[in-house]
Chains A and B, each alone.
Chain A
Amino acid sequence: MSATPATTPGRGSLSAETSAARAWRWLREHAVNIVAVLVVLYLLIPIVVIFVFSFNNPAGRYNFTWVGFTLKHWAHPFSNSELTNAMLTSIKLALLATVVSTIIGTMMAIALVRHKFAGRRIANFLIVIPMATPEVVMGASLLSFFLILDQSLLGFTTLLIAHVMFCISFVVVVVRSRLIGFDRSLEEAAKDLGAGPFTTFRLVTFPLILPGIFGAAMLAFALSIDDFVISNFNAGTTVTFPLYIFGAAQRGIPVEVYVVAMLLFFVTVVAMGFATWQQRRAEKMTAIRPEQEESDIVLPGIA
């Protein structure tokens, strides 16, 4: 990548260079790499801080300054029942929101990529616009809606409705990109061999877009379990993990929060590693052409 050949003619004078000049040149050539490494460190600092402070033994209620090392919070991360219940609520909510939004979103993505119909532009617009709306506005408008309908609705159900709502768009975007880079001839082959539309979908299409669906589901889960703003508006008295933290922030955050956050981090990392491995395997199994453009050409007699 470096410009070694370009500098070769100047080799003779190189030895005359002082070491300071050489160091300066090295710095100049690698400046952008150095900056990139610094940015990576910057991105990782808070994660390290969370990890370190999960071993802290704070004197008071506030876990903001380092006091001393202890393993007691890691030994009993679920000793705080309020926190544990909030976490369980979050996991349940995220699982349900993921299942619903992944199914609905995948169906939408298939319709958008595979079918031509009136109102396609509107459907696309409807998917993009929630992603371009600030969360406060979405949370506030949904709360207005529930307040006018029936205030007693607020709780787990309204949270689920809200989470599915903001996850759908992301699922569609991810699954759609997978469908666009899809080799249609495999489906045609299945049909030529006498498979009906459902058999083709079950045995060919679905397994091929599965990594995309899996990726979308992971994204939906991550968005849901981490959501604070929209949940804050629509939770009623239900408490999720982020809502618990927000409530606890005023009276002091228990160290267990840091432990649970780190556990969540490690689980996500493992799940992402697994997803990447799955994707690689799927790509090896089939020749997917990512460059292939979305084509609406349907050969006569196949459709």
Chain B
Amino acid sequence: MSEAIRRRISAYSLLAPGTLWLVIFFVIPLYFMAKLSLDVEIPGTLHYEFVWHWANYKEALELYDTQFVRSFIYAGIATLLCLIIAYPLAYVIAFKAGRWRNLMLFAVVAPFFTTYLVRTLAWETILSDESPVTEFLHAIGLAPSGHILATGFAVIAGITYNFLPFMVLPLYASLERIDTRVLEASKDLYASASSTFWKVTLPLSLPGVVAGTLLTFIPAVGDYVNAEFLGGVNNRMIGNVIQSLYLTQNDYPAAAALSFVLMAVIMIVVFVYIRFAGSEALMGQEAV
């Protein structure tokens, strides 16, 4: 057996278990879900029959278009807020933190070490009517008057908080990679601090901006924990609908159809966004 063939065999055998796992438990389930989304229930039974029933899509979208659009709006606003909040922090960690750098990075990932659901419950306390934070937000006019809980404001606040580290880490990674001599050169050429930022630092950090917005936006659109704990009936997102159709109402075809549309729309949004922002921005980026 030649060396080349032996190497190829060892490559494929190293690759096989993981590839099989992902194909069997990620790709094939997507196929089954596609099939399920075109099923019709055999009346009176809990069994389904595959009949290319495209009306499932039409009915599901007509019923839940509000939640669908709302998910994208909430996730979009939260992503934008994350970017605005995360950028100064990532900038300071990359360029100014000095010996505080590791401690600040620790603070960024620390929320991950508390359980996601408990973290969100903590926000339920923070945004409750008696909390000082609520009083402060009311005083400065940032929050809607009255209750904050069970409003879109609370849901967006929760999403923003929970996904913030996903924005900070890629931003930090791309800012940290910038050669500081480039920034010095800009200063030597009499650029002001602000034009150095807008013309040098920010463009060089764009890969981080693209990666961060995607890593925040994608999970945020599908999230339903924040809407469940912090929102009310009028703040349900598409994730809430999918999970209740699947797990309590057992309307599998409608739920499968909605999941598919969700995935398709996200893919289109991501594709257009990457086209717009430049694909090389994303590829070389390590998420974590």
Give residues in A with beta carbon < 8 Å to B.
Answer: 1, 3, 32-33, 35-36, 39-40, 42-47, 49-50, 53, 64-65, 104-105, 107-108, 110-112, 114-117, 123, 126-127, 129-145, 147-148, 161-162, 164-165, 168-170, 172-174, 177, 219, 222, 225-226, 228-229, 232-233, 241-242, 245-246, 249, 253, 257-258, 261-262, 264-265, 268-269, 272, 303
Which residues of chain B come closer than 8 Å to A134, judged between CB atoms? Answer: 218-219, 221-223, 239, 262-263, 266
Which residues of chain B come closer than 8 Å to A107, judged between CB atoms? Answer: 14-15, 17-18
Whether A174 and B270, one on each chain, are in contact in the complex, defined by CB atoms closer than 8 angstroms, is no
Which residues of chain B come closer than 8 Å to A225, judged between CB atoms? Answer: 115
Distance of A129 from chain B, by nearest CB (Å):
8
Whether A265 and B242, one on each chain, are in contact in the complex, defined by CB atoms closer than 8 angstroms, is no
Interface residue from A64, A135, A162, A245 paired with B128 (Cβ < 8 Å): A64
Is B259 interfacial (CB 8 A cutoff)?
yes
Contacting A at CB under 8 A, from B73-90, are: 85-86, 88-89
Whether B92 and A265, one on each chain, are in contact in the complex, defined by CB atoms closer than 8 angstroms, is no
6 smallest CB-CB distances across A and B, nearest first, come from A134-B222, A115-B11, A36-B92, A145-B29, A111-B14, A46-B122
Per-residue CB contact flags for chain B residues 114-151 toward chain A (1 = under 8 Å, else 0) read: 11111101111110101000000000000000000000
Whether B19 and A39, one on each chain, are in contact in the complex, defined by CB atoms closer than 8 angstroms, is no
Whether A145 and B89, one on each chain, are in contact in the complex, defined by CB atoms closer than 8 angstroms, is no
Interface residue from B19, B88, B115, B118 paired with A32 (Cβ < 8 Å): B88
> Which of B93, B96, B114 has its CB near the most chain A CB atoms (within 10 A)?
B114
Is B161 interfacial (CB 8 A cutoff)?
yes
Whether A126 and B19, one on each chain, are in contact in the complex, defined by CB atoms closer than 8 angstroms, is yes
Which residues of chain B come closer than 8 Å to A222, judged between CB atoms? Answer: 112-113
Whether A39 and B29, one on each chain, are in contact in the complex, defined by CB atoms closer than 8 angstroms, is no
Distance of B252 from chain A, by nearest CB (Å):
7
Distance of B31 from chain A, by nearest CB (Å):
9
Whether B86 and A140, one on each chain, are in contact in the complex, defined by CB atoms closer than 8 angstroms, is no
State the majority secondary structure of interface residues on B. Answer: helix
Whether A40 and B266, one on each chain, are in contact in the complex, defined by CB atoms closer than 8 angstroms, is no
Which residues of chain B come closer than 8 Å to A245, judged between CB atoms? Answer: 115, 117-118, 121
Distance of B276 from chain A, by nearest CB (Å):
17
Distance of A247 from chain B, by nearest CB (Å):
10
A25–B288 alpha-carbon span in the complex (Å): 37
A33–B27 alpha-carbon span in the complex (Å): 46
Task: Kindly report which residue of chain A lies nearest to residue B238, judged by CB atoms.
Answer: A136
Whether A142 and B259, one on each chain, are in contact in the complex, defined by CB atoms closer than 8 angstroms, is no
Which residues of chain B come closer than 8 Å to A226, judged between CB atoms? Answer: 112, 115-116
Whether B259 and A136, one on each chain, are in contact in the complex, defined by CB atoms closer than 8 angstroms, is yes
Sample of 16 A–B contacts (CB below 8 Å): A32-B88, A36-B88, A47-B119, A108-B19, A126-B22, A134-B239, A137-B263, A142-B25, A165-B25, A169-B22, A226-B115, A242-B115, A245-B121, A253-B121, A264-B115, A269-B113
Task: Kindly report which residue of chain B lies nearest to residue A245, judged by CB atoms.
Answer: B117
Whether B224 and A229, one on each chain, are in contact in the complex, defined by CB atoms closer than 8 angstroms, is yes
A159–B167 alpha-carbon span in the complex (Å): 29
Interface residue from B10, B32, B108, B125 paired with A43 (Cβ < 8 Å): B108
Is B107 interfacial (CB 8 A cutoff)?
yes
A41–B88 alpha-carbon span in the complex (Å): 14
Distance of B238 from chain A, by nearest CB (Å):
8
A135–B263 alpha-carbon span in the complex (Å): 10
Whether A174 and B114, one on each chain, are in contact in the complex, defined by CB atoms closer than 8 angstroms, is no
